[in-house]
Amino acid sequence: MPLLVSSVEVKKILKMDDCINLMEKVFIALQKGQSIQPLRQAMWLPDKNGLLGTMPAFDGNSKMNGIKVVSVFLDNHAKACHHIRE
């Protein structure tokens, strides 16, 4: 079963020092070819007013994968909403 985590939950759980240390390990693993992080993909909606962005990754050390998905709607500013939804 997938684990879905909101940005509010992430901010509660993660500490900046932990993130910095983890990112260092991730960059080393990427450089050694132990992890995979392809370029992000963007799928524009037919009206070109929004897109769905996906950012997958796989860590060979932990054998875990994950994906970040964002929706971007360019006219949300006119609706008093953020234009990016994560």
Position 49 scores a pLDDT of 87
For the chain (length 86 residues), average pLDDT per consecutive 10? 82 90 91 94 92 94 90 78 59
* pLDDT given at position 85: 57
How far apart, in whole angstroms, are the C-alpha atoms of residue 39 and residue 56? Answer: 8
pLDDT score, position 1: 73
For the domain spanning 7-85, the CATH number is: 3.30.1780.10
Q: What is the pLDDT of residue 43?
A: 96
pTM for the model stands at: 0.68
* Of 3, 7, 4, the residue nearest 86 (C-alpha): 7
Q: Coil, helix or strand for 66?
A: strand
